[in-house]
Amino acid sequence: MDLTSQSALTLSRLIRTREVKPSEVIGAHLAQIAAVNPQVNAVVSLREPDQIMEEALALDDQAPEGALFGLPLAVKDLLQTKGIRTTFGSPLYADHVPKADDLIASRMRGAGAVLIGKTNTPEWGHGSHSFNPVFGATRNPYDLGLTAGGSSGGAAAALAAHMVPLADGSDMMGSLRNPAAFCNVYGFRPSWGLVPTDAGYETFLDTMATEGPMARDIADIALLLGVQAGPNPLTPFGQAPQDYLGAVGAAPADLKGKRFAWFGDFGGQLQFEPGIIAACEAGLRVLEDLGAEVVPVSLPLPVADLWQAWITIRSFLNFGNKGAEMRNPAHWQQLKPETQWEIESGASVTAEALWQASKIRSRWYARAHEMLEGFDALVMPVAQVWPFPVGWRYPQAINGVEMDTYHRWMEVVVPVSLIGLPSLAVPVGFGANGLPMGMQIAGRHGADAAVLALGQAYHQATLWPQKRPPQI
């Protein structure tokens, strides 16, 4: 049995029934990392394999405890991990070894996962291309000359290359969804507040970024989300978790009676490279074949308004998080230009601009939920470009239209990110260029289990992530 091809849920069952040992599962994945990671560069700061195996062997004779017992997990390099180097992709933290886990890393470790290392990310998570001066660039397992996306690009590539059975990621703009689309896996951005942040940071104003799960099937998404979700009593806005595995297990084989609102290219307001809309429409036909109704709709607000609100709030938050670096010349010169731009933009945000941005955000939240009274989900593309050359910093134009920021080419994810909807990125197959693409299925705030149930019906009908990269 190829243990690296099994789902996390299957591996968990095999471990619990003593059909395989944790050391066998972890050893198989370490062997896969040794074989393919030199090409892909997805797993970074890997612990000494002998040390990992010593920990794994100690689990062999223990009674399985925790949803992730005996499973290897490489944590995104934006989460601090006790005793494992955490760099944030920055030369400022190239040798940083935390003394404690961040909350979500602690929850995953506490659920029995063996933390083996980290997954690569852009410096500070800024941008949807996972490269940094500490570890270099992560490559797409489906075409090693192309990007794996980001900022959870290392996680997505590690999954696609079967180096890990499931992965964590984070998403402020599209960092769980874009790399999932680029690497033919699933990425789930939970309802904002479901997966909490750590205490000690700003926790009232920053309501944009969230941790979440990635996997090669929906049941594994549900498994990891069940570990990550649940209130942190030290932070506000917490939500009680739901029975995600139960919802996925009870998902109907068809989608009769379900209605999906499809935004397409947003009435021409956004640029998409040729073939992307057609690829997503092929995914929509799967929903229709399962009995669902797909209805083309228009965004009730101008896309430009959402972008202006988004970029104002995002810059404000990035200045709050990193603005102190402006007063430290030695640090400032080591920040990537995109991060410097974020901070400088945030420094100029006025109270009036922030208030107007919040009003637009509030109006869109209300209108989106009005739409969701008549639909089960909103469907949009995940990306506006195909995976691009790994040597680029970012796409500077789409169809000859210049991008005016380093992340403008990701604008399609903003409608979901701005208002914290649960959104599942699902693969839609491969274009004529042979590259993966995806679309996102978003539901009303708090409807995470329902969105995953829809995703499970789609997954069972497609099984796209089971098409392994030909080069790996």
Active site amino acids? 76, 151, 175
Tokens 């995002």 sit on residue = 314
Q: How far apart are CA 51 and CA 47, in angstroms?
A: 7
Instruction: For residue 237, give Cα distances in angstroms to 193, 196, 232, 234.
Output: 6, 8, 9, 10
Q: In the 8-state DSSP scheme, what is residue 222? A: H
> At what angle are helices 303-322 and 351-371 packed, to 10 degrees?
130
Cβ atoms within 10 A of the Cβ of 63, count? 7
Cβ-count burial of 28 within 10 angstroms (0-12 exposed, 13-18 middle, 19+ buried)? Answer: buried
Tokens found for residue 17:
């029934």
Cβ atoms within 10 A of the Cβ of 187, count? 34
User: If we measure between CA atoms, which residue out of 59, 137, 89 comes closest to residue 388?
Assistant: 137
H/E run at residue 347: helix 337-347
DSSP string, 156-192: HHHHHTTSSS-EEEEESSSTTTHHHHHHTSEEEEPPT
User: If we measure between CA atoms, which residue out of 247, 226, 274 comes closest to residue 432?
Assistant: 274
Q: How far apart are CA 448 and CA 190, in angstroms?
A: 6
